[in-house]
Amino acid sequence: MKIIKDPVQLKQILVGERKLGRTVGFVPTMGALHEGHLSLVRASKCENDITVVSIFVNPTQFAPGEDLKKYPRVFKRDCGMLGKCGVDYLFYPSVRAMYPEGFSKPLRIRNAKWPRLARSLCGKFRPGHFRGVVTVVAKLLDIVFPDKLYLGSKDYQQAAVLQQMVKDLRLNVKVRLMPTVREKSGLAMSSRNRYLSIVDRKRSEKISRVLLELGRELEKNKEPVSKLKSRALSELKKHVDRVQYLEIVNARTLAPVRARCAEMGVLTACFVGKTRLIDNVIIRSR
């Protein structure tokens, strides 16, 4: 695995790879890797000739007061994991390389539709977050120019925003949305899980149970959506310290649903101790 820090150098190398007819899969990450990331890497390895992974803790997607400073940085460990998976290139740029002086941040795209998807849910509680994500992923895509971009479903809203951004910019990249990887307990894998104490981890395990149960009820139980939601919310509140949101949305538009529709998402963000966790389940009626 080659580690490359310079965007220009990576761009040149990948131009060369493409000239040789090789397809490129790309997995953007902020490091502190876990099985969820590795599942994306494995998918990319299966579907492409070359796999590129980036590790970059992107400052523009953290709001003031969020965990930018304490975000886990375990580069050596990450390198070992990626090397074992057979990653071809690891892109590890500095903040200066990604945001050179004079660069106007964050990026604004005229007539873009992605901001509509970014306003609700996490967007309400993390001002500027998705603008930061869109900015950095657009820059990464410009450097890597992959055939396929691999994203995890745990960050469902992020994936929806980025899929729309790809359409807005008419980028020639296929977005591959991969399933959430969970621990045996059901807890969705996340780099932030490492902040959890043993007791808080146990409490966090209840989040996915509440979501899955609500998903099942939406499919089977004929009670109104609002009633099922408020029951699930009360249950969730028993286990976590603060619920930012628990929403039942149209899985395509992310608009809240009052009546059942063909593809629904049950999404939540909540705090367990000081750790903010997100999770979701998607329900598709057969």
Which positions are annotated as active-site residues? Answer: 37
Q: Shortest approach of ligand PAF to residue 224 CB, angstroms?
A: 34
Q: Is 180 in the site for ligand PAF (CB under 6 A)?
A: no
279 near ligand PAF, judged by CB under 6 A: no
Looking at the DSSP bridge assignments, the partners of residue 24 are 50
The one-letter amino acid at 227: K
The reply on whether position 78 binds ligand PAF by CB under 6 A is no
Q: Nearer Cβ to ligand PAF, position 30 or 218?
A: 30
Distances (CA, A) of 21 to 15, 17, 31, 49, 172: 10, 7, 29, 9, 16
60 belongs to the binding site for ligand PAF (CB under 6 A): no
Q: Which residue has the tokens 């490492």?
A: 194
Report the length, in residues, of the chain. Answer: 286
Smallest separation, CB 256 to ligand PAF (Å)? 24
For ligand PAF, the binding residue among 137, 210, 248, 264 (CB under 6 A) is: 137
Applying CB under 6 A, among 32, 40, 50, 133 the residue interacting with ligand PAF is: 133
For residue 190, state whether it binds ligand PAF (rule: CB under 6 A). Answer: no
Are 145 and 14 within 8 A, CB to CB? yes
Q: How far is the CB of 58 from ligand PAF (least distance, A)?
A: 4
Q: What is the nearest approach in angstroms of ligand PAF to the Cβ of residue 231?
A: 31
Q: Which of 61, 135, 268, 275 binds ligand PAF (CB under 6 A)?
A: 61
User: Nearest 10 degrees: CA dihedral of 130, 134, 140, 143?
Assistant: -170
CA atoms of 210 and 204, how far apart (whole Å): 11
Q: Which amino acid is at 202?
A: K
Question: By CB under 6 A, which span of 11-19, 25-33, 112-120, 171-179 interacts with ligand PAF?
Answer: 25-33
- Work out which of 10, 98, 136, 254 binds ligand PAF, going by CB under 6 A: 136
Q: Which of 29, 190, 193, 208 binds ligand PAF (CB under 6 A)?
A: 29
SS3 74: coil
Q: In which order are the strands placed within the sheet that holds 275-284?
A: 242-250, 263-272, 275-284
Which C-beta is closer to ligand PAF: that of 29 or that of 208? 29
User: Which residue, 24 or 136, is less far from ligand PAF as judged by CB?
Assistant: 136
CA pair distance 114, 64, nearest whole angstrom = 23
- Give 284's strand partners: 263
Helix (H) or strand (E) holding 212: helix 198-220
Residues found near ligand PAF in the complex (CB under 6 A): 28-30, 58, 61, 133, 136-137, 155, 158
